[in-house]
Amino acid sequence: METKTLGILGGVGPLASVRFSEMMINMTEAKTDQEHIPLLMFNDNTIPDRTSFILGRSNIDPVPKMISGIKKLVDFGSNYIVITCNTAHYFYDQLQASTSVPIVNMIEEAVTAAILKKPGVKKIGVLATDGTVESGVYAKVIEERGLTCVVPSKNSQSVVMDIIYNQVKAGKDVDVHSFLKIIDELRHLGCDVIILGCTELSVINSDNNLTLHSGDIVDAMEALAQKCITLCGKKVK
């Protein structure tokens, strides 16, 4: 099978996009440079905040910037596109309609990975931004599979947002203890699997190996990387 080129629309946020590229490299079965997947990245940190727009706190629509970035990646030869932001998938249909090149849906891949992680799963917890939670993008996919979506309490959700925006995005030290307490809260609510549904939370995972040490945590960005490796004609380690 011919190796395909993957286009990465990044900058949403910038560090998460770089970590995704590292995942693609680290998770691909390859013995030489030439056996890796060609990656094109447009790390456009000027894309307006997706959560602010979805919740009506900003009137600056991020979609035109994202479509412009997708066009650049397509023009440079991308066979598949990924957007390294869970919240941005609220606009998935608009973005896919702007191009004939397939955009791999991170939400779909994360939920599929959660179901495969725990056969017989009934409740899936989701940790994500307010925009992702309020938009229901995860709840829709989870409920379409006949399962229940669970999100943190209001107070815990505010802690998740603080971790995402004021710690990871701000380049500050992360309060991992508080983050793990929220994961435990979802477990106590009966969640069989917990999805890290924000790429900033994927950064925390890559720094602390949460999915390696916990059998009930799924990293949406890891699930996306695994799917992309297969689509582009390679094998996952």
Is 191 an active-site residue?
A: no
Nearest to 150 by CA among 122, 124, 185, 183: 124
Is 228 an active-site residue?
A: no
Residue 24: what residue type?
A: M
Residue 78 Cα distances to 40, 61, 82, angstroms: 7, 25, 10
Selecting among 85, 149, 228, 232, the annotated active-site residue is: 85
Q: Are 33 and 40 in contact (CB under 8 A)?
A: no
Selecting among 191, 198, 228, 232, the annotated active-site residue is: 198
Catalytic residues: 85, 198
